[in-house]
Chain A
Amino acid sequence: SQTIHQWPATLVQPVGSPLSLECTVEGTSNPNLYWYRQAAGRGLQLLFYSVGIGQISSEVPQNLSASRPQDRQFILSSKKLLLSDSGFYLCAWSLGLAVNEQFFGPGTRLTVL
C-alpha cells in the first residue's frame, strides 16, 4: 500500500531563516507530486507540482521553491522566510490518471515569528 510522509510535523522559525520541508511517498512509482499551502485553516493554494524528477511547475510567484531530487521525494524550501509564509503545508501525490485522486500527507504547521 502507498503511504506519504511529511516532516517535520510542526516548525517555528524566525523571519529571515531558511526552510526545508520534506515529503516522501512509498509504495508507488513516478507519482505526480504537489505542494499546497493552507492559510488560516481554510482554502488550499497550489504552490508547486511535479510530474517527474527535476520537473517543477510553479503556480504562484512567491518566496518559496521546490525540488524533486528523487522519484518519490519532494522538498519545499526558502532561503529567507517571511511572516506571510506561515501556514499549514500539505504535500500530495497522484497517479495522474483521468480520475485525479490526490492523496494527502499529514501536513506541516509552519509558524514564522
Chain B
Amino acid sequence: GEDVEQSLFLSVREGDSSVINCTYTDSSSTYLYWYKQEPGAGLQLLTYIFSNMDMKQDQRLTVLLNKKDKHLSLRIADTQTGDSAIYFCAESRTNAGGTSYGKLTFGQGTILTVHP
C-alpha cells in the first residue's frame, strides 16, 4: 500500500520547537518530502530527504528518517507565527533507472498553530 499518515493538529508557543510526525508504508520509497501550505494557497516544497539518509538539516528545519520504522519527522526550531500552516509529508518512488514514476503520495496534513 501507499498510505501516508500524519497527526492532524499541533499547537506550539512562539519560540518553542515544533515536531511534526509522519509514517508511511511503502518500503520502496526513495524520496520523502515536506511541503508547506499557507491558507488559500498552493503547496511549497520545504525540504526533502533521500531514503538512504538518516537526517538532513536546513537552517531551522531538521528532517529525521527512521527507515526501519518508516517514520519521518520535521522539526522546526524557534517556531514563529509565520510558520503557522498545514504541513504535508509525501513520498515518491523511482524505477531502477532513477526516473521518477511522477507521482507523490501525500499525507492528510498537520495543521500547525503557533500562538504568542
Determine how close the nearest CB of chain A comes to the CB of B78; give it in whole angstroms. 26
Q: Which of A12-20, A61-69, A94-102 contacts B (4 or more CB under 8 A)?
A: A94-102
Pairwise interchain contact A46-B103, C-beta atoms closer than 8 A: yes
Chain A contacts with B in 80-97, Cβ cutoff 8 A: 90, 92, 94, 96-97
Count residues on chain A whose CB falls below 8 Å from chain B CBs.
26
Pairwise interchain contact A98-B109, C-beta atoms closer than 8 A: no
Closest to A95 in B: B100
Answer whether A101 and B108 are a contact pair too, CB < 8 Å, given A51-B102, A94-B100: no
Task: Tell me, in angstroms, the Cα distance from A44 to B86 when the chains sit together.
Answer: 12
Chain B contacts with A in 86-116, Cβ cutoff 8 A: 86, 88, 92, 94, 98-109
Pairwise interchain contact A90-B42, C-beta atoms closer than 8 A: yes
Task: Tell me, in angstroms, the Cα distance from A92 to B106 when the chains sit together.
Answer: 13
Pairwise interchain contact A102-B41, C-beta atoms closer than 8 A: no
B62 at the interface (CB under 8 A from A): no
Pairwise interchain contact A43-B107, C-beta atoms closer than 8 A: yes
Determine how close the nearest CB of chain B comes to the CB of A2; give it in whole angstroms. 13
| Interface mask (A28-44 → B, CB under 8 Å = 1, otherwise 0) | 00001010000001111
Give every chain B residue within 8 A of A107 (Cβ-Cβ).
40-42
Q: Which residues of A does B touch, CB under 8 Å?
A: 32, 34, 41-44, 46, 49, 51, 59, 90, 92, 94, 96-107, 109
Q: Which residues of B does A touch, CB under 8 Å?
A: 30-31, 33, 40-45, 48, 86, 88, 92, 94, 98-109
